[in-house]
A = this chain, B = another copy of it.
Amino acid sequence: MRFSEYFPVFSLLSPEDQSMLLKRTVLRSIKKGTVLHRSDEDCLGLLLIQSGQLRAFISSEEGKEITVYRLFERDVCLFSASCIMKNIQFDLTITAEKDTEAWLIPLDVYKTLSARYAAVTNYTNELMSARFTEVMWLMEQILFQSFDKRLASFLLEESAIEGTSTLSLTHEKIASHLGTAREVVTRMLRYFQSEGAVRLSRGTIEIVDEKKLQAISLGR
């Protein structure tokens, strides 16, 4: 796939700006575990993901975490350019959850294009709306859904992302995704096991009854 397919407003730019953009955009290889963004100080620019997986999360002073959203192939990471957005005053950490290849549109280039084209500003707007929607969804989950449903949904999602029913995930790590304590995860996983939905062993969680897990996630 070509770069222009990752960046939908490309065709709306003038030929000069198109070639400037192509010249300045670089394909970056990001190793799993790399911290891409922590605050406005590391404001790289727009990342268009070609392959791999990024994770955006917030964390408390005590180190408690919750995954706010994840980005996959063809997604665009807007918050690595958060400093171009006035009024954004929160710190989201973005890390590579898998080895990732991404096009990077440097900050100054994206700024220039935003000033020149209403279409680019509109595009920023759309990206922000999409993330805002994800955050509101998460908030509703946290407030209005019981933890058994959230955990069941998370396991099914992980299984779909990884393409396997045997997940290599520590309870600690799950707790960091869902914004809770490890003990809460362990307790609920044991309950899922007693229900015959999963099988727990050292370092892995095997989904043995996907339908049952789905039923839990839907509150049936």
**A interface list, Cβ under 8 A from B:** 58, 60-62, 64, 66, 85-90, 92, 115, 117-118, 121-122, 124-133, 135-140, 142-144, 179
Since A90-B140, A125-B125, A132-B135 are in contact, a sample of 9 more A-B pairs with Cβ atoms closer than 8 Å, ordered by chain A residue number, is A64-B144, A86-B126, A88-B132, A90-B136, A118-B118, A118-B121, A121-B125, A132-B132, A135-B139
Residues of B within 8 A of A142 (CB): 139, 142-143
Q: Is the CB of A60 within 8 A of B140?
A: yes
Question: Is the contact region of chain A dominated by helix, strand, or loop, or is it mixed?
Answer: helix
Indicate the member of A89, A122, A125, A127 with the most B CB atoms within 10 Å: A125
Residues of B within 8 A of A135 (CB): 132, 135-136, 139
**A188 → B minimal CB distance (Å):** 17
Query: Number of copies of this chain in the oligomer?
Result: 2
Q: Is the CB of B139 within 8 A of A138?
A: yes
A1 to B137, CA, bound (A): 38
A88 to B137, CA, bound (A): 11
A118 to B125, CA, bound (A): 12
Indicate the member of A89, A92, A138 with the most B CB atoms within 10 Å: A89
State which of B86, B117, B122, B138 has its C-beta within 8 Å of the C-beta of A129: B86
Indicate the member of A129, A135, A137 with the most B CB atoms within 10 Å: A129
18 residue pairs of the A-B complex, CB under 8 angstroms, read A60-B140, A60-B143, A60-B144, A62-B144, A85-B125, A86-B129, A88-B132, A89-B133, A90-B133, A115-B118, A118-B121, A121-B125, A124-B125, A132-B132, A135-B135, A135-B136, A138-B139, A143-B179
Q: Which residue of B lies closest to A124 (CB)?
A: B125
Residues of B within 8 A of A60 (CB): 140, 143-144
A129-B88 contact in complex given A58-B140, A60-B140, A144-B60, C-beta closer than 8 Å: yes
